[in-house]
């Protein structure tokens, strides 16, 4: 059985801030796609609705969506929000990645 990723309170809080500024709250979708400079890359989007087969992680009244194809790549990962000199962004801390690119979006397994 796969262990779904964890979402930090800070990530849920930032998603709540984003949704607080809109009339139609959205969920954060985290997907893994082929490509990027290391073989795989994370794709993060805001979506109005979930698909029937999505894994839905909920906290602080917010939702994070993961499709079943991406789930094995995100097993036991942590989804966080960080503010650094290069900017503020959602990040995935993935123990399954054997290497990653400096951009933080691309990784290999």
Residue with tokens 């962004």: 89
Q: What predicted TM-score, i.e. pTM, was given to this entire model?
A: 0.85
Burial (CB count <10 Å: 0-12, 13-18, 19+), residue 62: buried
Domains and CATH numbers, the chain: 6-108 (2.60.300.12)
> Which are the contacts of 3, defined by CB distance < 8 A and separation ≥ 6?
75, 76
pLDDT at 108 over 80: no
Pick 99 or 94 by higher pLDDT: 94
pLDDT at 10 over 80: yes
Q: Contact 31/90 with Cβ under 8 angstroms?
A: no
Q: How confident is the model at residue 14 (pLDDT cuts 50, 70, 90)?
A: very high
pLDDT at 88 over 80: yes
Which of 7, 8, 11, 9 is closest to 89 using CA atoms?
Answer: 11
For residue 13, what are the CA distances in angstroms to 20, 53, 82, 97? 10, 25, 12, 26
For residue 97, what are the CA distances in angstroms to 13, 51, 61, 105? 26, 26, 30, 11
CA 43 to chain centre: 8
């Amino acid at each position: 059985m796969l262990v779904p990723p964890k979402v930090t309170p800070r990530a849920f809080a930032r998603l709540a801030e984003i949704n607080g500024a809109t009339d139609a709250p959205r969920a954060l979708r985290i997907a893994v796609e082929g490509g990027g400079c290391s073989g795989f890359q994370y794709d993060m989007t805001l979506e109005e609705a979930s698909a029937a087969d999505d894994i839905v992680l909920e906290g602080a009244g917010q939702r994070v969506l993961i499709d079943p194809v991406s789930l094995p790549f995100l097993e036991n990962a942590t989804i966080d929000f960080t503010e650094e000199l290069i900017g503020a962004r959602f990040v995935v801390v993935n123990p399954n990645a054997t290497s990653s690119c400096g951009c933080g979006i691309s990784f290999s397994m």
